[in-house]
Amino acid sequence: MPGRPWKPASSGWPCCRSPHRTSLRLYPLRTAQAPVPRYPQRAGRGFRFAGGARTLAGMPASLFPYPGALPQVTSTGGALFTAGEVFRHEELQAMAMDGLLRHVYAGTFVRWDVRADPVVRALAASAEVPQQLRRRLTMGRMTAAWIYGCAPRPSRLDVLADRRSRTGALQPFSTSVLHEVLLGPADRVDVGTVSVTSPLRTAADVALYAGSAEAVPTLRRLAAHPVLGCRLDLVRRALEAGTRVPGKAAALERVTAAAAE
């Protein structure tokens, strides 16, 4: 059993050779540029997006690189620690009080010298979902905005399931709320190994389902993010293209308020 993470005597950052590059890289890695979403298209009830962040093979694109974004095995025994795997939650909390770890979400902590970037937050959120359901569910709404670094840490996770497929149910007293929605072919991207709604779909969902006090500042942060390419005019077009969408007028007002300042 590995011991407690320790701080090295030197002040240097851990490094390793990334499989995608020939030079040594320090952690945390810089994020990759995301493709700019294309304009939405009508798709009956709700909305979907044409093109967007997808690869030529039709698989979800990765906004943030992985593997290589987190050192899986290092001299300190790892980078991400989840309660119940090696250490109990009380032990992880004690390490955080000692400055060896930093809390990410629920029972997941990250090593003190690893920055909590979108990949770390996505993996921490995914750890709260049953393992057999992780590849069938997508992090969305305010949870996706938090993963992108544009919203505060949520008290409960918003987890989306495509209503056209069978996914199963979450455990009782889960920290997640399951929403059955229609997910289009470009509504999902991979952040690390976790499925997350695309920035454009995230912004549209935030405008529709979050209260104005949360939605307006979150929309501004999503639009100002240098990597996401989530302009407010694209969010407005996505909402306007939707048909028979409850709360559409209020969502457009929130987008207008976010663009006003």
Q: In terms of C-beta density within 10 A (0-12 exposed, 13-18 middle, 19 or more buried), how is residue 37 classed?
A: buried
Residue 215, pLDDT above cutoff 50: yes
Residues 6+ apart with CB under 8 A from 5: 76, 77, 78, 81, 95, 100, 101, 111, 112
Average pLDDT over residues 128-148: 95
Mean of per-residue pLDDT scores for the chain: 79
Identity of residue 237: R
Identity of residue 62: S
Identity of residue 207: A
Q: Among 173, 208, 133, 69, which Cα is nearest to 218's?
A: 208
- Packing angle of the helix pair 199-209, 212-224 (nearest 10 deg): 160
Tens digit of pLDDT for each residue in 112-131? Answer: 988 889 999 999 999 999 98
Tens digit of pLDDT for each residue in 11-22? Answer: 333 333 334 433
CA distance 164 to 170: 17
Average pLDDT over residues 174-195: 91
CA distance 222 to 233: 12
Tens digit of pLDDT for each residue in 76-91? Answer: 567 899 999 889 999 9
Q: E strands within the chain? A: 15-17, 24-26, 40-42, 47-49, 62-64, 80-82, 101-105, 108-111, 138-139, 157-162, 176-181, 188-191, 194-197
- pLDDT-wise least confident of 36-45, 85-94, 98-107, 246-255: 36-45
Tens digit of pLDDT for each residue in 37-79? Answer: 343 443 444 554 433 443 323 334 556 655 445 555 555 567 8
What pLDDT band is residue 33 in, cutting at 50, 70 and 90?
A: very low
Judge whether 53 and 77 are in contact, CB under 8 Å: no
pLDDT of residue 170: 81
Q: Is the dihedral of CA 208, 211, 217, 222 positive or negative?
A: negative
Report the percent of the chain where pLDDT is more than 70. Answer: 70
- Using CA atoms, how far residue 97 sits from 101, 106, 113, in Å, is 8, 16, 15
- Packing angle of the helix pair 232-241, 199-209 (nearest 10 deg): 70
